[in-house]
Amino acid sequence: MEQPGVFSTFGDRATEARYNETARTLRTPFVRLYAVLFMSVMLAYSVVNPLYLHPVENARLAFWLGVALMTTGIYIGATFWRDYVRHPMVDFAALLAISLIVARINFVLFDHLLHIHDDLHAVGVVNRLAITAFAAVTLAGRPRLFLAWLGCDLIGWLGQVLPGQAADAALAYALLSYLSGALVMAAINLAVGRTSRAAFMLADSLDAERARNEELVLNMLPPTAVERIRTGQMVADSYADASVIFIDMVGFSKLAKRVSPGHLVELLNSFFNHADACAREHGVEKVKTVGDAYLAIAGGNVPSGNSADAAIAFARAVLCGVDELRRVAGVDEVGLRAGIHSGPVVGGVIGATRMAYDYWGDTVNIAARLEGTAAANGIAISESTWLRATDRSSFGPPNMIALKGVGETCVFQTAVVDATGEGKAAA
C-alpha cells in the first residue's frame, strides 16, 4: 500500500472507506470534547455580558449565544448517530453554521467596543480561529472538503462584513488576518491528514501480517490449543472414541531411486494436497506427514460424528486420487494403502519450538501397523473400527494377522478402491 499524494486518496475505494471510518471513529471523542469546550466559552460570555452590555445589546447577544449553544448541542447529538463516521458533511454543515453564528456574535461585541470608544489593542471578541482549528482537525484526511469549508466560511464572513464596512484599510487588515489564519489551519489539516494516513497504513500492514501469522499458526495447531498456549496453559487432551488413519504410498522407495528430487517433491505435493482437500470435505483432522505417509484422525479436535464412518469415507476419497498420482509420476506402479483403528488417544503439544499438535497411544501405533497389511489401493481396519462403522459392505471376512508389537489382531480388508470410491471385498 503506497502513501497517497497530498490531495489524493488510497487507490482502493474499500481501503479509503476503512481509513475514513477508522480515523473519524478515533477523532469522535475529541470532537465531542471540543464542542463541550466551545459551549463552555459561550456560557462564559453569557455570564459576563450582562455586567457590561446595554440591555438591548445583551438581548441581541443572548439570542445568538443561545443559537450557538443549541447548534453545538445538536452537533454533539449527531456524533452519537450510528452512521455519523460515514458522513463528514455533518461536520462540514455544523462547523460552518457555528462559524457564521460566531461572526454574528462578534458583530454585537464590536458594536459595543465602538460605542464605548475602547482603545484596548487586544482581541475583545470570540476568536474565530478556534472554530477554524476545530474544522481543520475534524476534517483531517479530507483536504478538499476542508478547503471547500474555508471557501464557504470566507463567503459567509464577507457577506456579513462588507455591507457595514466603509474603510478599505480595515477590510484589508481583516482579510489579511483571516487569510493568514486560514493558511496556517490548511497546513495543519494537511499535516494531520498525512500523518493519520501514514499511521493507518502502518496499522493496516501490521494487522495483515498478524492475520497471516495467525493463519500459519492455525494451520499447525487447533484453535483451542492456540488459546491455551497464549495463556500459558499446558495443552493435553484425552479422546475416548477416535479413529486414526494412516495412508502410505506403495512403491515410493523404488520410485525415489528412479525419478529426480523435484519430480518426487511434485508427486508428494500432489498426494498431500489431495489428502488435505479430502480431510476438509469429510471433517477429518490432518495430524502430520512423515516421509510419504499421511496421518489423520477423526474424532479428535475436529468433531466428526461417527469417527469410524468419517475415517473410512476419508480413506476411500484419498484412494480415489491414485490415477492422478500415477499421471504425475508417469508410472503405473504408484499406489496408496490405508490403515484405520478406533480407540482412545491422547493429544497435545510438547516442546517450545516448532510446536505441533500430535497424538499418541496404542490406537496410533495399531493404525500404523494395519496400514502395512492393506493391499495396494486398499483399506485395512481393525475389529473396533468395523464394529463402530455403519457401512461394512465393502470389507471382507475377518483375518487374524500378527502385527509387530501388537500380536494377533482381527483385521478386515478391502481389496481395491476404484475411482468411484467403492471397495471390492477381499476374499
Q: What is the mean pLDDT of the chain?
A: 84
CB–CB of 361/344 below 8 Å?
yes
Question: What is d(CA 427, CA 412) in angstroms, rounded to the nearest whole number?
Answer: 10
Same-domain pairing of 191 and 313: no
Helix (H) or strand (E) holding 188: helix 168-220
Residue 14's identity, in one-letter code, is: A
With respect to residue 396, please indicate whether it lies within any of the assigned structural domains: yes
CA 109, 111, 113, 116 dihedral sign is: negative
Range of the domain at 352: 234-425
The helix/strand/coil state of 142 is coil
Residue 405 has pLDDT above 90, yes or no: no
Same-domain pairing of 149 and 268: no
* Number of neighbours of residue 213 by Cβ within 10 angstroms: 10
Domain end point (choices 213, 244, 268): 213
Rounded alpha-carbon distances, angstroms, from residue 14 to 19, 193, 353: 9, 18, 38
Residue 53 has pLDDT above 70, yes or no: no
Rounded alpha-carbon distances, angstroms, from residue 111 to 52, 117, 130, 140, 283: 13, 10, 21, 35, 82
The confidence score (pLDDT) of residue 164 equals 62
Of 3-17, 193-207, 247-261, 378-392, where does mean pLDDT reach its minimum?
A: 3-17
Q: For residue range 12-51, what is the model confidence (pLDDT) as tens digits?
A: 788 888 888 888 999 999 999 999 998 998 888 888 766 6
The confidence score (pLDDT) of residue 94 equals 93
Rounded alpha-carbon distances, angstroms, from residue 73 to 70, 126, 291: 5, 18, 71
State CA 100 to chain mean position distance: 42
pTM: 0.57
With respect to residue 259, please indicate whether it lies within any of the assigned structural domains: yes
Of 317-321, 388-392, 422-426, where does mean pLDDT reach its minimum?
A: 422-426
Our separate counts of H helices and E strands in the chain read 13, 9
3-state SS, one letter per residue, for 152-184: HHHHHHHHHHHHHCCCHHHHHHHHHHHHHHHHH
With respect to residue 219, please indicate whether it lies within any of the assigned structural domains: no
The confidence score (pLDDT) of residue 412 equals 94
Burial class (CB in 10 A: 0-12, 13-18, 19+), 152: middle
Same-domain pairing of 206 and 238: no
Residue 253 has pLDDT above 90, yes or no: no
The confidence score (pLDDT) of residue 125 equals 58
Q: Rounded to 5 degrees, what angle do the CA atoms 27, 32, 34 make?
A: 90
Same-domain pairing of 208 and 242: no
With respect to residue 332, please indicate whether it lies within any of the assigned structural domains: yes
Domain end point (choices 213, 243, 261): 213
The percent of residues above 70 in pLDDT, for the chain, comes to 87
Same-domain pairing of 44 and 179: yes
Same-domain pairing of 198 and 347: no
With respect to residue 275, please indicate whether it lies within any of the assigned structural domains: yes
**How many structural domains is the chain composed of?**
2
CB–CB of 95/149 below 8 Å?
yes
The confidence score (pLDDT) of residue 167 equals 58
pLDDT band at 122 (very low <50, low <70, confident <90, very high): very low
The confidence score (pLDDT) of residue 427 equals 44
Same-domain pairing of 241 and 208: no
pLDDT band at 421 (very low <50, low <70, confident <90, very high): low
CB–CB of 157/178 below 8 Å?
yes
E-state strands within 211-333: 236-250, 285-290, 293-298
With respect to residue 359, please indicate whether it lies within any of the assigned structural domains: yes
Where residue 270 sits, what CATH number does that domain have?
Answer: 3.30.70.1230
The confidence score (pLDDT) of residue 29 equals 92
The percent of residues above 90 in pLDDT, for the chain, comes to 32
pLDDT band at 323 (very low <50, low <70, confident <90, very high): confident
With respect to residue 220, please indicate whether it lies within any of the assigned structural domains: no
Residue 214 has pLDDT above 90, yes or no: no
Same-domain pairing of 117 and 158: yes
Per the model's pLDDT, the better-predicted residue between 55 and 84 turns out to be 84
Q: For residue range 215-252, what is the model confidence (pLDDT) as tens digits?
A: 777 777 777 777 777 777 778 888 888 999 999 998 88
Residue 112 has pLDDT above 80, yes or no: no
Per the model's pLDDT, the better-predicted residue between 262 and 246 turns out to be 246
Rounded alpha-carbon distances, angstroms, from residue 427 to 211, 374, 396: 52, 13, 6
Best mean pLDDT range from 138-142, 173-177, 341-345, 418-422: 341-345
Residue 354 has pLDDT above 80, yes or no: no
With respect to residue 223, please indicate whether it lies within any of the assigned structural domains: no
Of 129-143, 175-189, 221-235, 295-309, where does mean pLDDT reach its minimum?
A: 221-235
Question: In this structure, what C-alpha cell is assigned to residue 169?
Answer: 484599510
Same-domain pairing of 158 and 246: no
Residue 59 has pLDDT above 60, yes or no: yes
Same-domain pairing of 259 and 175: no
Tally the C-alpha atoms within 13 A of residue 111's C-alpha that lie toward its C-beta.
Answer: 15
Same-domain pairing of 164 and 38: yes
Same-domain pairing of 36 and 126: yes
Of 122-126, 238-242, 268-272, where does mean pLDDT reach its minimum?
A: 122-126
The confidence score (pLDDT) of residue 116 equals 60
Residue 424 has pLDDT above 70, yes or no: no
